[in-house]
Amino acid sequence: MSTYVLMKILESTASRYDRGLRLLTLGRLDRIYEHLTSPIKRGQKVLDIGCGTGSLTLRAAAKGATVKGIDVNPEMLSVARRRAEAARFSPEIEFAEMGVAELGSEPPESYDVVMSGLCFSELTADELAYTLKEINRILKPGGWLLVADEVRPQNPLKWLAHGLIRIPLVVITYIITQTTTHAVKDLPEKVREAGLIIKSLKPNKLGDFVELVARKPERQ
Ligand SMILES: C[S@@+](CC[C@H](N)C(=O)[O-])C[C@H]1O[C@@H](n2cnc3c(N)ncnc32)[C@H](O)[C@@H]1O
């Protein structure tokens, strides 16, 4: 899963992103996203942070939720809009060119679910801390946070293996895109620090990718 850093190359050609991603992950990400979105229910209000081409957004809409997908990349959003139109989900979905820095404009306690796939690893540590704090503010009491992303392994041997695989990929990605991703360090701790309660944590075998489900406490 260290290969997720190559996502940055795919993002620079948004029209080929979905096909490239499927090849890169051998379809694993589709299964992960299917599982991640399973708690979403009809009628819920959902925010997809860093929605890209809308893989999570469309899944949530298919479950009958009303979804807002935000992303800073207009090309990725155009692909997402086309996919939503083709699937006839346009009425249930709003796509906005908006970064995490603008989450302050979302009303408090307005979402049942906030989800994010492979976006936290594109944020700086400060952006991620701010984003998690904002997620806690905009979630309704008892609301859900659903995340799937690349993380830094805790186990030293896995961390070494992850680094050895990742460094050449980071160099290739940086040469092509002048950007890279940062496998998230201590994601569960950061989620807890933001005031959310972890409900489940599903790392892969190498410990460098995780599915995390957390909940905002009910009002006391
Ligand atoms: C690897 S893609 C994942 C897209 C989609 N969630 C998926 O799983 O296919 C990461 C996305 O995060 C977006 N992104 C990066 N930084 C962002 C920010 N500060 N605010 C909002 N979106 C951001 C990128 O533009 C990109 O579309």
pLDDT tens column, 73-131: 999 999 999 999 999 988 899 999 999 999 999 999 999 999 999 999 999 999 999 99
Q: Measuring from atom 14 of ligand 1, which residue has the nearest CA?
A: 50
Q: Which residues sit opposite 169 in a β-bridge?
A: none
Q: Is the CB of 129 under 6 A from ligand 1?
A: no
> Which domains, from first to last, does the chain contain?
2-215 (3.40.50.150)
* Alpha carbons 213 and 135: distance in angstroms, whole number: 13
* SS3 assignment, position 209: strand
* Alpha carbons 149 and 52: distance in angstroms, whole number: 14
Return the pLDDT at 165.
72
* SS3 assignment, position 141: strand
CB atoms within 10 A of CB 131: 23
Alpha carbon 212 to its chain centroid, in Å, reads 10
User: Which residue bears the tokens 């594109």?
Assistant: 122
Tokens of 148: 């799937």
User: Per-block average pLDDT, block size 10, for the chain (220 residues)?
Assistant: 62 70 73 96 98 96 97 94 92 96 98 97 96 98 97 80 69 60 91 98 90 91
Site to probe by mutation for ligand 1, drawn from 17, 53, 59, 71 as the one with most ligand atoms within 8 Å of Cβ, is 71
Against a cut of 0.85, is the pTM above it? yes
* Alpha carbons 211 and 204: distance in angstroms, whole number: 9
Return the pLDDT at 90.
81
Return the pLDDT at 89.
86
**H helices present in 178-215, as ranges:** 187-193
CA of 65 to the centre of ligand 1 (A): 21
Closest CA to 217 of 136, 146, 163, 142: 142
